[in-house]
Amino acid sequence: MPAYSTNMRLKFPILALVLEIITIILFGVFVVYDDGKGHGHDADHHDNNTHKAEPMDLYPMFQDIHVMIFIGFGFLMTFLKRYGFSSVGMNLLLAAFGLQWGLLMQGLWHLDHGKIKVDIFKIINADFSTATVLISFGAVLGKTSPVQLLIMTILEITIFSINEHVVVNILGANDVGASMIIHAYGAYFGLAVARVLYRPGLRNGHDNEGSVYHSDLFAMIGTVFLWMFWPSFNSAIADPGFTQLTAVINTYLSLAACVMSAYAVSSLVEHKGKLDMVHIQNATLAGGVAVGTCADMNIGPFGAMLIGFIAGIISTLGFKYLTPVLASNLGIQDTCGVHNLHGLPGVLGGLSGIVAVALGKKEGSVSHMGSAAMQAIALASSLGFALVGGAVTGLILKLPVWSQPPDQNCFDDALYWEVPAEEEEHEESLAHNKAEV
Amino acid sequence: MPAYSTNMRLKFPILALVLEIITIILFGVFVVYDDGKGHGHDADHHDNNTHKAEPMDLYPMFQDIHVMIFIGFGFLMTFLKRYGFSSVGMNLLLAAFGLQWGLLMQGLWHLDHGKIKVDIFKIINADFSTATVLISFGAVLGKTSPVQLLIMTILEITIFSINEHVVVNILGANDVGASMIIHAYGAYFGLAVARVLYRPGLRNGHDNEGSVYHSDLFAMIGTVFLWMFWPSFNSAIADPGFTQLTAVINTYLSLAACVMSAYAVSSLVEHKGKLDMVHIQNATLAGGVAVGTCADMNIGPFGAMLIGFIAGIISTLGFKYLTPVLASNLGIQDTCGVHNLHGLPGVLGGLSGIVAVALGKKEGSVSHMGSAAMQAIALASSLGFALVGGAVTGLILKLPVWSQPPDQNCFDDALYWEVPAEEEEHEESLAHNKAEV
Amino acid sequence: MPAYSTNMRLKFPILALVLEIITIILFGVFVVYDDGKGHGHDADHHDNNTHKAEPMDLYPMFQDIHVMIFIGFGFLMTFLKRYGFSSVGMNLLLAAFGLQWGLLMQGLWHLDHGKIKVDIFKIINADFSTATVLISFGAVLGKTSPVQLLIMTILEITIFSINEHVVVNILGANDVGASMIIHAYGAYFGLAVARVLYRPGLRNGHDNEGSVYHSDLFAMIGTVFLWMFWPSFNSAIADPGFTQLTAVINTYLSLAACVMSAYAVSSLVEHKGKLDMVHIQNATLAGGVAVGTCADMNIGPFGAMLIGFIAGIISTLGFKYLTPVLASNLGIQDTCGVHNLHGLPGVLGGLSGIVAVALGKKEGSVSHMGSAAMQAIALASSLGFALVGGAVTGLILKLPVWSQPPDQNCFDDALYWEVPAEEEEHEESLAHNKAEV
């Protein structure tokens, strides 16, 4: 691949400016402030109880989720030694654009007199929609250009909003913490893209695909913020009051149990019983993903902890044994191991939801088996949209016009970012010295 | 400048202790807890509507702003390779003293039976007052001693509280997100100080005035926390309810649009279309500054995004083309480029406010053109107090008794901090030991 | 000590898995969601006023405290150059297990029809209980294995819950911000453990027991988050409304005054008046600890600032002069100096509480001198349980079967973690090249 093809000049700025101008125009046509009058379709989500909602009630939860999206996902991916600028920087770009696009796409299904009325509930959902892209970003991290990533954002959020509509409004399935429609969807979408963009040249790994001591600490900032605020993620759109409290407690306890099993299994499978940072950074979060679908159900603190405990085990084992197999045998190069953090635990969450609904743990549900069937269809729908949508997106991204990086420049910020000169000089002197040897 | 003059011993501790003791005495005389009885002048800011305020209602927003002040500003300035201790450490010192001083200075204009009654609203405003100092600190970063900075804090907050009184209480101007009274004021105050303290010896730059890879990542912690919580900054003192919601949504959308234009223009003006960390760390925030004055007005989501979009462009272009000219032609050495993040976008915010008020976007405003004129006078007042106040402050700081750093020790923590010796020695000793083997 | 004894394989995973399975079973037997019906013993803490509590009212404060526990304590301890993985990683493990254990231990004293009903108030207290362990962890940081730390967690939280019951329910003492029952208790417990585990081999220090430039910056993330959210820590379980507001304001102001005195004294006692990062990272927080016991009392803003001011001085002097003496003369090797951050300020807080209660600053207290006596007994109880409990725990941890690190591997992540290979190789290549030159 010739060097000039990675040059973003013109391609990236023009795409970003045109997208933003179109978005602003669409906002001018469709989007107004919520004025508290005449709620539309989503009123039944959060208004049908005795609690009189104030416009700002959900704001603290929104800010927790905002932190998860921008600090959590952004820093979680800084573990690579030479790709921190892209991780936190592209995360900011994709999420900032994605929330605008998500607000439009989700809003189009819920028009109120032809308008999208923005309130805190809607911007929470807009933030949620970006999470799918950030999960998929983890699968293709280091192997895609900013231009490709912007295109993926548009496509993935558009398809997400269709699947969300199917799952929530048509099937009437429960997925309060979005194990299926965000985590499983985002993971399998990203894996499908990664499969289509398979790079044989990276089959034997890459010098830059590893961490250094401090990059692993930066990543822990992301991990811990995700871990702490996950109860907000899983409860923000739950019914207010005791149902929301249940979602908080289930998530809090599931995550705590998950930490214990993730640490235990990490030590069990590693050399000399040592702990592995990759597991700690990721598998400790699997409990939040897996308890998502049934977070607001009456599964009991015991049930929530069991789900988290199992998720921690599955996720750690996935990192250790499954990821290498996917890469070598199926051509799926999953940089951050999103399959283990979002994919498997997301499916576990979907399955738990089916069981919980079948057992009547969801309050107000009439026909248990009918509802359980809807849950199963919702899971299948999420996986189907993800795999087909991801594959189509991958084919589009494969067109050789999006400034994608050549193999040797993968996982390297220097291709798309001005990198401080000290570093390079340092490396040059290293290179120089080695050359002399 | 002889070496001993930078020795802070006695000067700094005595100044800090005396200032704190005086402050504690003043608190003993003037400050009491709010007990909910008999609100004073600021009641009309937040109490005159149907919403019955509880004492802790604003607390979550206060904490968001607290994070912006102490993590946001503190880490944003850690981008310099050898000045991280001072950035985050001096930020903590100046803000911790500044909030006490600000509470006194602002409170003196709103005495209630001779007392300042502290509530969440007042400590939010105290935090706000420190933001002006932290912005100015960015302009003189690396070139001033802790002693100088403490003196600047006293003077800048005192003058700020006068201008705030003029703008809010006398002119009755609107500046809910403080584009004018904090951002423009803080930036031009700092630039005036920097002009007076001009150092010809730094005309050709300084070895330490640059970043390393990980210092740029630390700075991104600051950027992202500022970016996320800016909706709280712009809405905290808005009227509760739907007006506050409007301020949140306008800021959220302005910032999202600003990210897109800042990235696009950064890539457009840089070598080979690469992104520049300086732009990403700063210009992505310009949308929050610029939408401040009219955040609580009915400018429409479309209008907010347009303001953010333009702010991102102006700010990035300022970093690229204006900062070098200010330094070389006008003798204004603006270390962090606060002119581009706070100065220009602050003025843009003030101008947007004039237009928005003239167009009748501010609810409850009677005479549109009269109000617009007050907005214009408020902007002029903020700039005037900033430039004159900053110049006078600069002259005082120029007195050769404040342990200011000599040119060669600028941008270096080692002058005022114990710095770990290990880094370089460590490598050398490693090299040495191995060589012996 | 032979190398194999540090191998955690089997010991650690089995302990962690067994503990978690037992915990899940106990949760299955005892723990249910709060459904708002029939509050038990702790109702008088937060329900007996006109304020009608919603289930989620305390949630934003809970999240602030959650951040202090997981980010605050975790990153504060990353200051060591080679022990960041353990600091933030073990912090996560111990707190995640500790909150489950704490919820059980504290809940057993407040059973409601044989069940522990979980609400936000209870998970705040569960988080609190882990703080004691994290403080003690600071004293033994770098010198203990994960196995030892898990055992310490069980014992320390169990004993904590007994002392808490004595102090709060039997003595009826006031300790809203837990200066005595968390800070003093955690510190002296940890110091007692450290004394029993005294290592003569570390008498002359250790190569790894120091910071590098960026590890000190990581630690400041912890410091600043602790500093900012401390008002939530001290006010979360205060009576809602104006009492809670008082606790917030007292803590906010105490911390601000403490920063000033800590910086001043740091500069006063250091070489050439420089600031020392150890003081800034720790002593700036002493004001939050010391104002804890009387945070919700009517001590006046002036009184709160005075407490903070004194705490900052005592804490800084403790780091400078007391810690070396404790290590050399008493055999107490206190890695993080928790005696200066939690021990001394905690005792100061307890003493302040005695004085404040004697002066009738606690609203609703009937007999001032009787209440003051109860406060004094509460302080003595906390210190007694800490010293005896810590000594016994130390003796158990001393058994040579818990994979404790040999002296030469102290303060080194590589013993229990997979550490990225690049660092060392990198340095080796540097060394190699230099040797050749």
Cα B344 from Cα B152, distance rounded (Å): 22
Question: Is the CB of B114 inside 8 Å of chain A's CB atoms?
Answer: no
Is A416 in contact with B274 (Cβ distance < 8 A)? yes
Listed by number, the residues of chain B in 142-201 with a beta carbon closer than 8 Å to a beta carbon of chain C are: 146
CB A215 within 8 A of CB A80: yes
Q: How confident is the model at residue C41 (pLDDT cuts 50, 70, 90)?
A: very low
pLDDT at B421: 77
Exposed e or buried b for every residue in A24-57, given b needs 16+ CB within 10 A? bebbeebbbbbeeeebbebeeebeeeeeebbbbb
Mean pLDDT, to the nearest integer, of C9-37?
94
* Residue B117 DSSP one-character state: E
Cα B57 from Cα A54, distance rounded (Å): 12
Is C309 in contact with B20 (Cβ distance < 8 A)? yes
Cβ neighbors of B216 (< 8 A, separation 6 or more) are A85, A420, B79, B277, B281
Cα B13 from Cα B246, distance rounded (Å): 46
Is A256 in contact with C88 (Cβ distance < 8 A)? no
CB A136 within 8 A of CB A186: yes
pLDDT at B236: 97
CB B275 within 8 A of CB B266: yes
Is B430 in contact with C435 (Cβ distance < 8 A)? no
Position C32: which residue type? V
The candidate with the shortest Cα–Cα distance to A97, out of B300, B263, B223, is: B263
Question: Is the CB of B60 inside 8 Å of chain C's CB atoms?
Answer: yes
Cβ neighbors of B396 (< 8 A, separation 6 or more) are B151, B155
> Would you report the helix, strand and coil content of chain B in percent, each value rounded to 5?
70, 0, 25
Is B56 in contact with C265 (Cβ distance < 8 A)? no
Exposed e or buried b for every residue in B83-111, given b needs 16+ CB within 10 A? bbbbbbbbbbbbbbbbbbbbbbbbbebbe
Determine how β-strand A31-33 pairs with β-strand A116-118: parallel
Helix (H) or strand (E) holding B361: none
Q: Measured in Å, how far apart are chain B's first and last C-alpha atoms?
A: 45
Q: What is the three-class DSSP state of A210?
A: coil
* Residue B14 DSSP one-character state: H
Cα-Cα-Cα-Cα torsion B211, B215, B217, B221, nearest 10 degrees, comes to -120
Is C221 in contact with A216 (Cβ distance < 8 A)? no
Is B88 in contact with C220 (Cβ distance < 8 A)? yes
Query: Which segments of chain B have a pLDDT < 70?
Result: 1-6, 38-52, 365-366, 422-437
| Cβ burial, residue B264 (10 Å; 0-12/13-18/19+) | buried
pLDDT at C35: 87
CB A136 within 8 A of CB A343: no
- Could you give the residue ranges of the DSSP H alpha helices within B141-212? 146-164, 185-196
pLDDT at A46: 43
pLDDT at C2: 44
Question: Is the CB of B71 inside 8 Å of chain C's CB atoms?
Answer: yes
The candidate with the shortest Cα–Cα distance to C356, out of C283, C288, C284, C307, is: C307
> Would you report the helix, strand and coil content of chain C in percent, each value rounded to 5?
70, 0, 25
Which residue do the tokens 């996720």 mark?
A315
Residue C362 C-beta-side C-alpha neighbours within 13 Å: 26
Is B13 in contact with C430 (Cβ distance < 8 A)? no
DSSP letter string, A253-274? HHHHHHHHHHHHHHHHHSGGG-
Candidates B211, B260, B279, partner chain A, best to mutate (most A CBs within 10 A)? B260
**C-alpha R_g of chain B:** 22
| Contacts with B82 from chain C: Cβ below 8 Å | 213
CB C108 within 8 A of CB C116: yes
The candidate with the shortest Cα–Cα distance to A138, out of A208, A194, A220, is: A194
pLDDT at A40: 44
pLDDT at B5: 60
Question: How many angstroms away from the CA of C275 is the closest CA of chain B?
Answer: 5
Q: Which two tokens stand for residue A2?
A: 């010739």
pLDDT at B436: 38
Residue C111 C-beta-side C-alpha neighbours within 13 Å: 9
Cα A426 from Cα A415, distance rounded (Å): 18
Other residues' Cβ atoms within 10 Å of the Cβ of residue B368? 14
Give all chains having 3 or more CB-to-CB distances under 8 Å with chain C. A, B
pLDDT at C431: 42
| Cβ burial, residue B44 (10 Å; 0-12/13-18/19+) | exposed
* Residue C210 DSSP one-character state: S
The angle at the Cα of A178, spanning A177 to A180, to the nearest 5 degrees, equals: 140
| Contacts with B272 from chain A: Cβ below 8 Å | 7-9
CB A211 within 8 A of CB A46: no
* Closest residue on chain B to A215 (Cα): B214
Q: How confident is the model at residue C424 (pLDDT cuts 50, 70, 90)?
A: very low
Residue C363 has pLDDT above 90, yes or no: no
Is A66 in contact with B245 (Cβ distance < 8 A)? no
Interaxial angle between packed helices B120-140 and B84-108, expressed in degrees from 0 to 180 and rounded to the nearest 10:
130
Other residues' Cβ atoms within 10 Å of the Cβ of residue B349? 32
Cα A417 from Cα B271, distance rounded (Å): 10
pLDDT at B365: 67
CB C296 within 8 A of CB C231: no
Across the interface, which of A61, A212, A301 has its CB nearest the CB of C27?
A: A301
| Cβ burial, residue A427 (10 Å; 0-12/13-18/19+) | exposed
The candidate with the shortest Cα–Cα distance to C138, out of C76, C85, C217, is: C76
CA distances from residue C122 to A256, C41, C61 in whole angstroms, order as listed: 15, 12, 13
Give all chains having 3 or more CB-to-CB distances under 8 Å with chain B. A, C
* Residue A405 DSSP one-character state: P
| Contacts with C273 from chain B: Cβ below 8 Å | 7-13
Cα C300 from Cα C9, distance rounded (Å): 55
Determine how β-strand C31-33 pairs with β-strand B116-118: unpaired
Is B71 in contact with C435 (Cβ distance < 8 A)? no
Cα C379 from Cα C173, distance rounded (Å): 9
Q: What is the three-class DSSP state of A406?
A: coil
CB A311 within 8 A of CB A290: yes
pLDDT at A3: 45
The candidate with the shortest Cα–Cα distance to C130, out of C170, C173, C90, is: C90
Position B140: which residue type? V
CB C97 within 8 A of CB C20: yes
Candidates B61, B79, B217, B227, partner chain A, best to mutate (most A CBs within 10 A)? B217
Question: Is the CB of A305 inside 8 Å of chain C's CB atoms?
Answer: yes
Query: Would you give the distance in Å from CA A193 to the centre of its chain?
Result: 14
Exposed e or buried b for every residue in A346-361, given b needs 16+ CB within 10 A? bbbbbbbbbebbbeeb
Q: What is the three-class DSSP state of C71?
A: helix
Determine how β-strand C31-33 pairs with β-strand C116-118: parallel
pLDDT in tens, chain A (437 residues): 444 466 777 899 999 999 999 999 999 999 999 988 755 444 444 444 444 589 999 999 999 999 999 999 999 999 999 999 999 999 999 999 999 999 999 999 989 999 999 999 999 999 999 999 999 999 999 999 999 999 999 999 999 999 999 999 999 999 999 999 999 999 999 999 999 999 999 999 999 999 999 999 999 999 999 999 999 999 999 999 999 999 999 999 999 999 999 999 999 998 889 999 999 999 999 999 999 999 999 999 999 999 999 999 999 999 999 999 999 999 999 999 999 999 999 999 999 999 999 999 987 766 788 899 999 999 999 999 999 999 999 999 999 999 899 999 999 999 999 999 754 444 444 444 444 33
Which residue do the tokens 């303060």 mark?
C411
Query: Would you give the distance in Å from CA A106 to the centre of its chain?
Result: 17
* Residue B406 DSSP one-character state: P
The candidate with the shortest Cα–Cα distance to B339, out of B133, B181, B188, is: B188
> Structure pTM?
0.95
* Residue A404 DSSP one-character state: P
Question: Is the CB of C18 inside 8 Å of chain A's CB atoms?
Answer: no
CB C213 within 8 A of CB C23: no
pLDDT at A422: 58
Q: Measured in Å, how far apart are chain C's first and last C-alpha atoms?
A: 39
Is C33 in contact with A217 (Cβ distance < 8 A)? no
Cβ neighbors of A158 (< 8 A, separation 6 or more) are A101, A105
Other residues' Cβ atoms within 10 Å of the Cβ of residue C76? 28
Cα C232 from Cα C63, distance rounded (Å): 9
Q: Which two tokens stand for residue B201?
A: 């010896």
Question: Tens digits of per-residue pLDDT, C73-127?
Answer: 999 999 999 999 999 999 999 999 999 999 999 999 989 999 999 999 999 999 9
Question: How many angstroms away from the CA of B412 is the closest CA of chain C?
Answer: 12
Is B211 in contact with A31 (Cβ distance < 8 A)? no
Position A381: which residue type? S
Question: How many angstroms away from the CA of A27 is the closest CA of chain B?
Answer: 6
